Amino acid sequence: MLSEKSKKSLLTLLGAAHSLNHSLFLIAPPLLLTIMVDLGTSKFLLGVAGTLSSLIYGVGSLVGGPLSDRVGEIKVITLCMALSGAFTFTILLAQEIVVYSLGLFLIAAWASLYHPTANSLISKVFPRGMAEAMGLHGVGGTLGVMLTPVVAVFLGKTFGWRFSFLFFGVLCIVFAVLLTKYSFKTVQTVSEGKIWDVFRFPGLWKIFLFNSVIGLYMKGVEYFFPTYLVLKPFQGFDINYAKMLAAMAWTLVLAAGVVGQWLGGKTADYFGSKKVLIVTSVGVLLSLVFLQFTPVPVVGIMAFIYLYGIGFYGHQPALNSLAGLKIPNDKKGMIYGVLFFTSFGLGSLSQSIVGFCADTFGIETSFYPLTAFSVAALLLSFLLPDWREPSTKENPP
């Protein structure tokens, strides 16, 4: 068993790793128009590149989860951070969309090992107060990445957009080296089951389906939100000024996400994850409606920032803890691998959908399908199982 001090140190380390892992995927969105011009490509092809990288980011989690059950979580996290950082050097060679796409693919392939591994480790180390621990892990990640869009735009404007990838890649490598000095361990158990065995657990298929729909709106929003702002509400502004405003808007979404992660974890432990997931689903739907249909753009943008930030990021600790409550330790990595795949893997399809809508019908239509996905998520949230920790009501926060 780990001491309380060791548990806190572990959670701090995972928060930093979480931050850098996500940063790799938040570099491109605020620089999308610059990348498009430099590579001589289209929004649709960039959307396809984003889809392919996100798809492998999800598929790889099906490997990362079971692998962490077998060889240990810290080893897997160190490997994924070091190699995902190293492959950012591929982006330096990108002069066309094919090489750029290959670079994103290789980065995503190694980065994909992180989430199921970290969530599995947290669920084992924190069997009580799991949602709060998941929330604090999310807070650590979100605090770090909320500055990524602004830093990426600043570095991209000053040194070129490729340097933005390189900067965060080097940080990943440095962190991987530092992580090797720690030897946090949990008892490893080896599962003999197959990946499809996870669907035999009652109620899990509902969680996976709900998470798939969340992924469909999440990946589209994450990839195209800055571009949407530049081409619609910020149309007519100086292009560099518009890009910086869009990057700042996404930073504010992430700042609201810090609050959402903390609230989601705290309230899920006390009120139950299902109630939290229903409320957060309502918040996400309202945020997309305000963004697109409010007559005063600044009001719609601010409403989106806070409702989406708190709603989307608030659902994560609730859903992760809900999935881990009824699962034995020898299946946790596998379960979290499938859970991550349903969100980041299947959800990646929306990036191509949004890119196609933007190129074919105009940027103003691009968020319509994302709104439809958020409606589906809200409806599915009512079907989720209402699992809770036995001591939840006895130990209010």
Report DSSP state, residue 198: G
pLDDT(309) > 70: yes
| Least confident interval from 68-77, 116-125, 330-339, 348-357 | 330-339
Q: Do residues 13 and 125 make contact, with C-beta atoms less than 8 angstroms apart?
A: no
**In-domain check, residue 281:** yes
**In-domain check, residue 356:** yes
Note the pLDDT tens digit of each residue in 139-191.
878 877 777 888 898 999 899 999 999 999 999 998 888 777 766 555 444 44
Torsion of CA 65, 71, 72, 78, to 10 degrees: -80
Q: Sorting pLDDT into bands at 50, 70 and 90, what band is 196?
A: low
Instruction: Report d(CA 369, CA 94) in Å as an integer.
Output: 31
**In-domain check, residue 392:** no
The tokens describing 247, both together, are: 């990057």
Q: For residue 74, what are the domain limits?
A: 4-180+196-381
**In-domain check, residue 171:** yes
Q: Do residues 322 and 190 make contact, with C-beta atoms less than 8 angstroms apart?
A: no
Q: What three-state secondary structure class fits 333?
A: helix
What distance, in Å, lies between the first and last C-alpha atoms of the chain? Answer: 24
Contacts of 254 (CB under 8 A, 6+ apart): 142, 145, 146, 148, 309, 313
Indicate which CATH number applies to the domain containing 169.
Answer: 1.20.1250.20
**In-domain check, residue 396:** no
Q: Into how many domains does the chain fold?
A: 1
354 closest CA partner among 366, 368, 342, 372: 366
Report DSSP state, residue 390: T
Q: Do residues 343 and 25 make contact, with C-beta atoms less than 8 angstroms apart?
A: no
**In-domain check, residue 293:** yes
| Placement of tokens 């881990």 in the chain | 324
**In-domain check, residue 191:** no
